[in-house]
Structure 1
Amino acid sequence: MHLENLITQKVKEAVEAIYDISLQSVELQPTRKEFEGDITVVVFPMLKLLKGNPAAIGNAVGEYLEREVKEVVAFNTIKGFLNLVISDTYYLNFFNGIRTDQSYGYVSGGQNEAIMVEYSSPNTNKPLHLGHIRNNLLGYSVAEILKAAGKKVYKTQIINDRGIHICKSMLAWKRFGKGETPESSGLKGDKLVGNYYVAFDRAYKDEMLELKSRGMSEEEAAREAPILKEAQELLRRWEAADPQVVALWNMMNGWVYDGFETTYKNLGVDFDRLYYESNTYLLGKDVVAEGLEKGIFYKKEDGSVWIDLTDEGLDEKIVLRSDGTAVYMTQDIGTAIQRVKDYPDITGMVYTVGNEQDYHFKVLFLILKKLGYSWAENLYHLSYGMVDLPSGKMKSREGTVVDADDLMEEMSETAGSIAAELGKLEGYTEAEKKELYHMIGMGALKYYILKVDPKKRILFNPEESVDFQGNTGPFIQYTYARIQSILRKADFDFNTNVLAEEIEGLQDKEKQLLKDLEAFPQLIQAAAAQYSPALIANYTYDLVKDFNSFYQQVPILAEPDTRLRNFRTQLSKKVGEVIASAVGLLGIQVPERM
Structure 2
Amino acid sequence: MDFIIEAAVKAIKQLYQTDVAPAAISLQETRKEFEGQITIVTFPFTKFSRKGPEQTGAEIGEYLKNEVKEIAAFNVIKGFLNISISDGYWIGQLYNQILPDDFAVAKPNGQKVMVEYSSPNTNKPLHLGHIRNNLLGYSIAQILGAAGYEVVKANLVNDRGIHICKSMLAWQMFGNGETPESSGLKGDHLVGKYYVLFDKAYKTQIEELKAEGQSEDEAKKNAPVIKEAQQMLQKWEAGDAEVIDLWKTMNGWVYAGFAETYKQLGVDFDKYYYESNTYLLGKDIIEEGLEKGVFFRKPDGSVWIDLTHDGLDEKLVLRSDGTSVYITQDLGTAQLKYNNFHMDKSIYVVGNEQDYHFKVLFLILRKLGKAGADGLFHLSYGMVDLPSGKMKSREGTVVDADDLMAEMEATAKEQTEAMGKVDGFSEEDKLQLYHTIGMGALKYFLLKVDPKKRLLFDPNESVDFQGHTGPFIQYTHARIKSVLSKANYQVNSAIETTELADVERDLIVLLTQFPDVINTAANDYSPAVIANYVYELAKVYNKFYHEKSILQAEDEISKQFRLQLSASSAKVISKSMNLLGINVPERM
Please state which band the TM-score falls in when normalised by the shorter chain.
Answer: over 0.9
CA distance in 1, matches of 2:354, 2:248: 29
Counterpart contact for 2:527–2:580, Cα < 8 Å: yes
Deviates more, 1:204-213 or 1:556-565: 556-565
Structure 2 residue corresponding to 1:409, chosen from 406, 409, 413 = 406
CA distance in 2, matches of 1:555, 1:318: 69
For residue 481 of structure 1, what is the aligned residue in structure 2? Answer: 478
Letter aligned with residue 412 of structure 1: E
Q: Normalising by the residue count of structure 2, what TM-score does the alignment of the two structures yield?
A: 0.97
For residue 348 of structure 2, what is the aligned residue in structure 1? Answer: 351
CA distance in 2, matches of 1:45, 1:441: 50
Deviates more, 1:96-105 or 1:172-181: 96-105
Matched, 1:547 2:541: yes
Q: State the Cα distance separating 1:392 from its structure 2 match.
A: 7.5
Relative to structure 1, is the Cα distance of residues 47 and 171 closer, same or farther in structure 2, using a 3 angstrom cutoff? farther
Matched, 1:73 2:69: no
Which stretches in structure 2 are left out of the alignment for 5+ residues? none
Deviates more, 1:397-406 or 1:74-83: 397-406
For residue 426 of structure 1, what is the aligned residue in structure 2? Answer: 423
How does 1:481-500 map onto structure 2 within 5 Å? Answer: 481-491=478-488, 495-499=491-495
Q: Matched residue of 1:318: which SS? A: strand
Q: Matched residue of 2:344: which SS? A: strand
CA distance in 2, matches of 1:210, 1:524: 59
Q: State the Cα distance separating 1:394 from its structure 2 match.
A: 10
For residue 577 of structure 2, what is the aligned residue in structure 1? Answer: 583
Q: Matched residue of 1:557: which SS? A: coil
Q: Matched residue of 1:33: which SS? A: coil
Q: Matched residue of 1:382: which SS? A: strand
Letter aligned with residue 266 of structure 1: Q
Q: State the Cα distance separating 1:103 from its structure 2 match.
A: 3.9
Relative to structure 1, is the Cα distance of residues 494 and 150 closer, same or farther in structure 2, using a 3 angstrom cutoff? same
Counterpart contact for 1:307–1:316, Cα < 8 Å: yes
Q: State the Cα distance separating 1:495 from its structure 2 match.
A: 3.3
Q: State the Cα distance separating 1:375 from its structure 2 match.
A: 1.7
Percent of aligned pairs with the same amino acid: 60
CA distance in 1, matches of 2:391, 2:473: 30
Counterpart contact for 2:74–2:82, Cα < 8 Å: yes
For residue 170 of structure 2, what is the aligned residue in structure 1? Answer: 172
Relative to structure 1, is the Cα distance of residues 81 and 219 closer, same or farther in structure 2, using a 3 angstrom cutoff? same
Q: State the Cα distance separating 1:16 from its structure 2 match.
A: 3.2
- C-alpha distance after superposition, 1:484-543 (max 9, x if no partner): 00011104x6533234xx323100010011001100001101100000100000000000
CA distance in 2, matches of 1:200, 1:48: 74
CA distance in 1, matches of 2:115, 2:289: 26
How does 1:178-189 map onto structure 2 within 5 Å? Answer: 178-189=176-187
CA distance in 2, matches of 1:487, 1:147: 29
CA distance in 1, matches of 2:193, 2:48: 67
Letter aligned with residue 132 of structure 1: H
Q: State the Cα distance separating 1:290 from its structure 2 match.
A: 1.0
Q: State the Cα distance separating 1:22 from its structure 2 match.
A: 2.0
Counterpart contact for 2:26–2:41, Cα < 8 Å: yes
Q: Normalising by the residue count of structure 1, what TM-score does the alignment of the two structures yield?
A: 0.96
For residue 107 of structure 1, what is the aligned residue in structure 2? Answer: 106
Counterpart contact for 1:494–1:566, Cα < 8 Å: no
CA distance in 1, matches of 2:205, 2:45: 72
Structure 2 residue corresponding to 1:133, chosen from 131, 134, 159 = 131
For residue 472 of structure 1, what is the aligned residue in structure 2? Answer: 469
CA distance in 2, matches of 1:371, 1:392: 49
Counterpart contact for 2:5–2:25, Cα < 8 Å: yes
Letter aligned with residue 461 of structure 1: D
Relative to structure 1, is the Cα distance of residues 48 and 215 closer, same or farther in structure 2, using a 3 angstrom cutoff? farther
CA distance in 2, matches of 1:49, 1:270: 56
For residue 35 of structure 1, what is the aligned residue in structure 2? Answer: 34
Q: State the Cα distance separating 1:21 from its structure 2 match.
A: 4.3
Matched, 1:93 2:87: no
Q: Matched residue of 1:158: which SS? A: strand
Matched, 1:225 2:219: no
Q: State the Cα distance separating 1:8 from its structure 2 match.
A: 2.3
CA distance in 1, matches of 2:452, 2:459: 20
How does 1:327-476 map onto structure 2 within 5 Å? Answer: 327-344=325-342, 346-391=343-388, 399-476=396-473
Q: State the Cα distance separating 1:585 from its structure 2 match.
A: 0.3
Matched, 1:17 2:11: no
Relative to structure 1, is the Cα distance of residues 55 and 129 closer, same or farther in structure 2, using a 3 angstrom cutoff? same
Deviates more, 1:322-331 or 1:449-458: 322-331
Deviates more, 1:349-358 or 1:219-228: 219-228
Q: Matched residue of 1:70: which SS? A: coil
- C-alpha distance after superposition, 1:381-425 (max 9, x if no partner): 110000010018999996432000010010001000101111111
Counterpart contact for 1:55–1:80, Cα < 8 Å: yes
CA distance in 2, matches of 1:46, 1:70: 23
Letter aligned with residue 262 of structure 1: E
Q: State the Cα distance separating 1:80 from its structure 2 match.
A: 1.4
- C-alpha distance after superposition, 1:165-194 (max 9, x if no partner): 010000000000000000000000000000
Letter aligned with residue 390 of structure 1: P
Q: Matched residue of 2:537: which SS? A: helix
Count the aligned residue pairs: 586
